[in-house]
Each structure stands twice: as structure tokens, then as C-alpha cells.
């Protein structure tokens, strides 16, 4: 096979960070796994049954590209009640990753700039590259707070998009209402598209309620889904809402790429919409508290206000060196340079059984004390 067959956009995407972690972990017989970015509980039984029934009922062909009408209408009613925007339309996507890809391909031309906060969800940088754009990274260390003046300074005549994620993967940070309002206002002022990735919106622990930039900027493109809140990561069920002229272009692109979200799973989404996930949220709040209490005297905590992650500075060495030692001790965590231009932190997921959390935190405390 000739190397010249591979496109330049793919040469610009480096998967080596995550691959290196799992190469190191390949020989682990019984790993203590705090790396997985998905819930540890199963999909609710009523949702599974609805999907199975849809398959039995023959709902296995293509749906409309924008999704089945009943699911669109259900989510649209909620969105309309919350935001009261005349021009905000919903469509069903093949997961939030699918919606992210569609939104960036719709908005970004080659050479356009996309502002992303560092640390960032690993997909943002690579999907921007795939769309032909350039990531402009805004450093948020050490506390992962948004400084809107730094965003203002980063905007140029090539800036097309600001990518925003709260609660955040990997930091667990929940942005304050004032930070969100200022960012939303800046996007309006500068005529820059604002994409809000809200996949973790159910998991907010220390605030009264989730706040979306769409509350302050009616042009915000919101991406959401069932993957994290309902443990449906492999079922690829998301949704997006935003200005109709943008959404219609995204649906057009979905027609010629993903075609539609999985049809039987959309019927499961109708049932998922009615499920109460508050017990899962309460359980993860308790797990967050346990990890923070257990590790707090030895590790410096910032963020961890939501989602199910802690992004911790290493007590010695680089993130890669510390994670290598953790893996040697049968603990699987992710080095921070997978999510960042810096190699100073590591990410743990507390979406795990309590016994696993106890084992994992014990290993972390031990290798922190041992030193390099």
C-alpha cells in the first residue's frame, strides 16, 4: 500500500496518546480500571425492552434523516419550553460525536479557526483537523476557569467557532453562570458560532441547576444525548438543537454520511426521555465525594464539580511517567497529555464500583508516597 494514499487530514490526527496507554496496559490480567469514560451501570431495562420491541415490530429500516417525528416532537417541546426561541429546531443525531462532526463540517472551512479550551475532550482537536480547521487553544490551568478576556484576545478574522463543554471532560469543571453568560455574549458580539457540548448536563453536583449558553445566546448550537445519563454509549443516540438555517445544513450532511440515527434506538429514546436518572446522579455525587475525601490530602483538586472525572496534577514526574507507574501497579488511568498540550496531570473516572474506587485510590496514594 502506498503511503500517498492517506489523506493529509488523517496525517494530522495523532492517536498515539491513547494507544500508548492501552499498549502499556495490554498485559494487565486484572486491571483496576479508572479510565473508562462511560457509566458503570447498564442501560435501564425499559429502554432495552423498547429497543427490542422496535426491532420485533420491524422498525429496522432507515428513518427520516432528521429522526422519527415522535422523538423530535418530544424533545422540541422541552427545548421550546426551556428557551422560547422562535428559530430553534431539534434533530436526532447518531450520537453526540456524530453531531459534533456534522456541526464542524457545516461551519468550518479549511483554514478557519476553532477556539477550544485546554484541557479538552480529545475528539475536539481531531474533528477540527478533519474539517480542515485549526484549533486555537485557550489555557485554563490551574483551576480550569473561563477567562473571557483571553477568548476575546484569541479571536481573529478567521475565527469561526468556539467549542464549549460544561460539565467538562476531562476536568469535571462546571462553568459558573457568569462565565457562561460572558462567553455567550462575546460570541454574539463577535459573530462567532458557539457550540455547547452538554452531554454531561445531568451530572451537576454543587450547583442548583445546569446552565446552558443557549439561555443567553439564541444562536447557540447545543449537542446532547442519552449516552452518559442513560448508559447508552454504544447505542449512538444523540440530538442537536440550534438555529434552523444551521440545523437544516447539518441534516443535509447527515443524509449523506450517517444517514440517520439507529432507527430502533430512537424508539428506545422515547422511553429513555421519561426515565428518572436522579438516583444515578446521586450515586456519582457520592463517588465524587469519596474520591475527593480519600485523595484530597495528597492530590490537588480543581474542577470535579460534575460529569464523573477528576483531572489531577501529578505529585511527582510527568503525567506520562506517573501513569506508567500506575499501570505497573495494575491501575489503569489516562495521562493528561491525551487531553492537553501539557503533560502535568492525569484523569481518573469514578464511574466504577465502590470496590474498584477503593482499590484505585489506595494505589494512587501508595505510588504518590513512593515518589519517582
Cα 40 to chain centroid distance, Å, stands at 16
pLDDT tens for 147-165 read 999 999 999 999 999 999 9
Burial of 59-68, coded b for 16+ CB within 10 Å and e otherwise, reads beeebebbbb
**Mean per-residue pLDDT over the chain, rounded:** 94
pLDDT above 70 for 16: no
**Which pLDDT score, from 0 to 100, does residue 269 have?**
97
**Which pLDDT score, from 0 to 100, does residue 17 have?**
64
pLDDT above 60 for 1: no
Percent of the chain with pLDDT over 70: 96
**Which pLDDT score, from 0 to 100, does residue 24 have?**
66
Go through the domains of the chain in sequence order and give each one's CATH number: 3-43+277-370 (3.90.1150.10), 60-272 (3.40.640.10)
pLDDT tens for 40-50 read 999 999 999 99
Q: pTM to 2 decimals? A: 0.94
Rounded to 10 deg, the angle between the 319-328 and 354-370 helix axes is 120
pLDDT tens for 280-311 read 999 999 999 999 999 999 999 999 999 999 99
pLDDT class for 19, splitting at 50, 70, 90?
A: low
How far is the C-alpha of 269 from the C-alpha of 60, rounded, in Å? 15
Cell reading at 309: 472525572
Amino acid at each position: 500500500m502506498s503511503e500517498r494514499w492517506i489523506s493529509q487530514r488523517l496525517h494530522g490526527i495523532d492517536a498515539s496518546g491513547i494507544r500508548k496507554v492501552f499498549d502499556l496496559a495490554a498485559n494487565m490480567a486484572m486491571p483496576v480500571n479508572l479510565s473508562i469514560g462511560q457509566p458503570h451501570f447498564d442501560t435501564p431495562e425499559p429502554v432495552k425492552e423498547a429497543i427490542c420491541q422496535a426491532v420485533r415490530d420491524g422498525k429496522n429500516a432507515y428513518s427520516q434523516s432528521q429522526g422519527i417525528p415522535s422523538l423530535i416532537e418530544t424533545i422540541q417541546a422541552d427545548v421550546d419550553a426551556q428557551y422560547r426561541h422562535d428559530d430553534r429546531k431539534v434533530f436526532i443525531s447518531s450520537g453526540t460525536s456524530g453531531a459534533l462532526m456534522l456541526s464542524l463540517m457545516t461551519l468550518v472551512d479549511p483554514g478557519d479557526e476553532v477556539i477550544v479550551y485546554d484541557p479538552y475532550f480529545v475528539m475536539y482537536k481531531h474533528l477540527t483537523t478533519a474539517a480542515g480547521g485549526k484549533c486555537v487553544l485557550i489555557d485554563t490551568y490551574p483551576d480550569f476557569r473561563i477567562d473571557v478576556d483571553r477568548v476575546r484576545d484569541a479571536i481573529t478574522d478567521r475565527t469561526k467557532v468556539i467549542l464549549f463543554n460544561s460539565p467538562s471532560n476531562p476536568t469535571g469543571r462546571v462553568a459558573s453562570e457568569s462565565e457562561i453568560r460572558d462567553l455567550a455574549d462575546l460570541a454574539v458580539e463577535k459573530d462567532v458560532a458557539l457550540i455547547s457540548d452538554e452531554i454531561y448536563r445531568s451530572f451537576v453536583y454543587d450547583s442548583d441547576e445546569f446552565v446552558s449558553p443557549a439561555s443567553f445566546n439564541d444562536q447557540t448550537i447545543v449537542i446532547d444525548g442519552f449516552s452518559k445519563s442513560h448508559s447508552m454509549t454504544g447505542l449512538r443516540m444523540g440530538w442537536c438543537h440550534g438555529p434552523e438555517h444551521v440545523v437544516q445544513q447539518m441534516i443535509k450532511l447527515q443524509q449523506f454520511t450517517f444517514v440517520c440515527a439507529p432507527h430502533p434506538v430512537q424508539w428506545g429514546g422515547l422511553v429513555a426521555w421519561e426515565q428518572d436518572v436522579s438516583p444515578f446522579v446521586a450515586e456519582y455525587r457520592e463517588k465524587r465525594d469519596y474520591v475527593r475525601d480519600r485523595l484530597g490530602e495528597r492530590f490537588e483538586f480543581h474542577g470535579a464539580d460534575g460529569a464523573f472525572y477528576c483531572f489531577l496534577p501529578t505529585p511527582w514526574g510527568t503525567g506520562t511517567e506517573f501513569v506508567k507507574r500506575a499501570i505497573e501497579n495494575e491501575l489503569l488511568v489516562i495521562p493528561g497529555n491525551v487531553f492537553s498540550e501539557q503533560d502535568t496531570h492525569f484523569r481518573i473516572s469514578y464511574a466504577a464500583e465502590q470496590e474498584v474506587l477503593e482499590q484505585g485510590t489506595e494505589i494512587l496514594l501508595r505510588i504518590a508516597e513512593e515518589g519517582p
